Amino acid sequence: MRLDKLAYRDKPVQIRGLPTLYGGEGYWMTALPMPLTSTLQHSPGALPHPGRGYPDFAEPGEVPVSFENDDGTGDMPSLPMIAAAAWLIGNDAVVEQTIITAMLSSLGKIAAIQDGIHGMTDELVDKTWDEAQLRRRCRLLHIVPQDVAGEPPYFGVEFACTWDTEHGYGLMFHGTDVVEWGGGDVPNSTWIALRHAEGRS
């Protein structure tokens, strides 16, 4: 993890089983050792999301992860978020393939949505793209463990992508199950995970 890329005011937080977290006041960052999932950050075509930038503190083989307590308070991330981060480290290979499978399965619906948009300026999605073609068009920005209790845990994944350079692309997962996909706001919306956990979706 490149500490020179973090803000000087970020304070270290030690949590057993996780790399050191940095931040405070309800928001922390770290880089999880996930060498397979980290390959989703290497797109030559997808520029960083203009509104969120690209977390460049992760070393090769690491994935940027952000934790946020919904109320913006607390000295530590919640227990569900900590458990989710530990699960992600232990299930790197599964997470990588789960993300790819989910993205490929959504291509047809994305293409259908684009058909109804006039004046498209971004790349048109082809529902026949394979994994290699998809990887060239999206860049993993970060993973967001959710403050929602669940076994397996809830987490979101945000991407920059060539087919929606303004909003990006995101997914919410319950373990290996897709809860919802859409724009870059999806993985950062705790209410989506909470609604699913309560059986309302």
Span 82-105, pLDDT tens digits: 999 999 999 999 999 999 999 999
State how many domains the chain has. 1
Question: Which pLDDT score is estimated for 180?
Answer: 94
pLDDT of residue 6: 76
Q: d(Cα 26, Cα 176) in Å, to the nearest integer?
A: 27
Hey, CA dihedral for 140, 48, 23, 197, is it positive or negative? negative
H-run or E-run covering 173? strand 169-174
What distance in Å separates the CA atoms of residue 54 and residue 42, rounded to the nearest whole number?
12
Please give the pLDDT value at position 69: 84
Burial zone of 49 (CB within 10 Å; 0-12 exposed, 13-18 middle, 19+ buried): buried
Q: Which domain holds residue 170?
A: 3-197
Q: pTM for the whole thing?
A: 0.91
pLDDT tens digits for 150-169?
Answer: 899 999 999 999 999 888 99
Nearest CA among 122, 150, 147 for reference residue 137? 122
